[in-house]
Structure 1
Amino acid sequence: MPEETLYADLKFQDSAKKEEAQTSDKCGGKVSSAVSHSQHKTVVILTLLCLLLFIGVVTLGGIFYTTLEKEMTKSNHLQSIKEELQRNVSLQLTYNLSNLEKIQNLSTMLQNIATQLCQELYNKDPEHKCKPCPKGSQWYKDSCYSEANGYKTWQESVKFCSSRNASLLKVKNKDVLEFLKSKKLRGYWLALSPREDYRDSETLSEKMFLSEWFEGSTDDLNGMYCGFIDRVKFYYTYCTDQNKIICEKTASKVQVESVLNGLPDGSL
């Protein structure tokens, strides 16, 4: 009897262990299966995300490349337009400069013709309205010569001419030299710079072109020597002595209109 009871207990324990083992195997299998399914799902999701990301990058790259290509095309087109405009502007400037040069040449030629015509009219009528000098003055080359009445000291003469925007007589080129010789002037102050020492008379010549012409102050000229012209020579005397005056100034341009209006009818 005790042996049968012991046998039954052992059998029951073995049976219980088997059932526990089977239950354990079944539970383990179910857990393993669930974990495997979850991992697979995660992999699928990650794969899809990677695929979407790749598609997005490719799409953005395509858009960027397309946009870049369009912008480069536009830029090249604008550059071509710019270069064309620059060529056109350069050609226009060249054309304008050429025309301006022609106009300037024509203007110079017209001015020279007007001056020559005015000179001819002036020779016939010294007070012709085309004369580019003040009334009562003499026109020679590009200068106007005005003679003042009376006698003045050298200092007074300088101030007198200066008040009329002119200067005392100067001999600075061959044309003026020959002009003064032909006039045979007597006792007219020259614009030679005052000297402290006396100087003997000299013949009017081209040596005068190298002379020092007055450009400074007229203050305190007592005891100083100033030059004056007498026919074909020039002399020195005290600056406080009195002589005659000729003022000179640059002639204005001859006005073409004054020449045309002054021409006799039918001369053109």
Structure 2
Amino acid sequence: MSEEIVEEIVYANLKFEDSDKKEKTQKSDKCGGKVPSAPSHSQHKRVLTLTLLCLLLLAGLGVLGGIFYTTLETEMIKSNQLQSIKEELQENISLQMMHNLITSKKIGNLSAMLQNIATQLCRELYGKEPEHKCKPCPKGSEWHKNSCYSQLSGLETWQKSEMLCSARNASLLKIKNKNVLEFIKSKKQRNYWLGLLPRKDTEMGNEKMFLSEEFERSTYDLSKMYCGHTDGIYVSYANCNQKKRIMCEETASKVQVESVLSHLPEGDM
């Protein structure tokens, strides 16, 4: 084959390929877009990397979710255990408080019983020995029921007598009930000032007038007032500035159990 023929064939092929490319380009322009080129190797690598990252992220979220669920479940178990312990402690404390209250009441009852026994024993000892150590009254006074009665020496006005008794943390003789009334009547004492409210007249009283009224310090002009005093089984009134005998009354202290037990015979201990 001659060189001219070969050149013509090559030229015809190149021209055909060129016309074919133009035709494809024209068709692509007519369709309104360009034919996409094939993806490169770097693009495939990026997609693969992003896919792996997403998978790793999902796996991490799954692990974190599992840890969170396990931790939450563990904390709930601990919380329930703590709640149970708290309820058990509260119940134990309530039972202990109830036990202490019952024990305290028992101790209080026993203490009161022991106090009553000691008081009764002391009264028996007092009957035999008026100045027995267990007596819950000042020396020289008389013990009756829950009160101590002390007779002071000398004569004084009603106001001075009231002040002397007050200095001893006591008060002038007061008749507060029938029991005290009978006790005073049995003594047949006369001319002892009473802790009655001063009055403006000298009317003779009866037994009901023995019951003392509360005396409040005030601006009485006692030189014109009359004060009550014992007169056998009655109460009489005299000018408050007259001088009469003094009897002070005070509340007896509690009998000391030790003072009774220490003076009992050894055979009674």
1:81 CA drift (Å): 1.4
How many Å separate the matches in 2 of 1:61 and 1:219? 94
Aligned to 2:244: 243
Aligned to 1:255: 256
| Residue number among 65, 73, 80 corresponding to 2:77 in the alignment | 73
Aligned to 1:175: 179
Query: Given the alignment of the two structures, is residue 203 of structure 1 paired with residue 206 of structure 2, yes or no?
Result: yes
How many Å separate the matches in 1 of 2:126 and 2:219? 36
Aligned residues: 254
1:130 CA drift (Å): 0.7
Aligned to 2:38: 33
Partner SS for 1:245: strand
How many Å separate the matches in 1 of 2:159 and 2:179? 27
How many Å separate the matches in 2 of 1:90 and 1:61? 43
Structure 2 residue ranges without an equivalent (≥5): 1-9, 29-33
Deviations 1:9-64 (A, max 9, x none): xx9799568448649979x99971136x6655444433333322222222111111
Query: Given the alignment of the two structures, is residue 83 of structure 1 paired with residue 84 of structure 2, yes or no?
Result: no
1:263 CA drift (Å): 2.1
Query: Given the alignment of the two structures, is residue 184 of structure 1 paired with residue 188 of structure 2, yes or no?
Result: yes
One-letter amino acid of the structure 2 residue matched with residue 107 of structure 1:
S
Query: Given the alignment of the two structures, is residue 113 of structure 1 paired with residue 93 of structure 2, yes or no?
Result: no
How many Å separate the matches in 2 of 1:94 and 1:42? 77
Cα contact 2:207–2:234 (8 A) shared by 1: yes
Aligned to 1:7: none
| Residue number among 98, 105, 108 corresponding to 1:104 in the alignment | 108
How many Å separate the matches in 1 of 2:210 and 2:191? 17
How many Å separate the matches in 2 of 1:194 and 1:122? 36
Partner SS for 1:98: helix
One-letter amino acid of the structure 2 residue matched with residue 76 of structure 1:
N
**What is the alpha-carbon root mean square deviation over aligned residues?**
3.1
Cα contact 1:170–1:213 (8 A) shared by 2: no
Deviations 1:51-98 (A, max 9, x none): 222222221111111111111111111111122122222222222221
Aligned to 1:226: 227
Partner SS for 1:249: strand
How many Å separate the matches in 1 of 2:210 and 2:52? 108
Residues 13, 226 of structure 1: alpha-carbon distance in 2 compared, 3 angstrom cutoff:
farther
Aligned to 1:163: 167
Query: Given the alignment of the two structures, is residue 216 of structure 1 paired with residue 220 of structure 2, yes or no?
Result: no
What percentage of aligned pairs have identical amino acids?
58
Residues 238, 24 of structure 1: alpha-carbon distance in 2 compared, 3 angstrom cutoff:
farther
Partner SS for 2:39: helix
Cα contact 2:210–2:235 (8 A) shared by 1: no
Structure 1 residue ranges without an equivalent (≥5): 1-10
Partner SS for 1:229: strand
Residues 134, 20 of structure 1: alpha-carbon distance in 2 compared, 3 angstrom cutoff:
farther
Cα contact 2:210–2:234 (8 A) shared by 1: no
How many Å separate the matches in 2 of 1:141 and 1:58? 89
Partner SS for 1:214: coil
Deviations 1:146-205 (A, max 9, x none): 00011100110011001111111111122211211111110111111222x214111223
Residues 23, 39 of structure 1: alpha-carbon distance in 2 compared, 3 angstrom cutoff:
farther
Query: Given the alignment of the two structures, is residue 135 of structure 1 paired with residue 136 of structure 2, yes or no?
Result: no
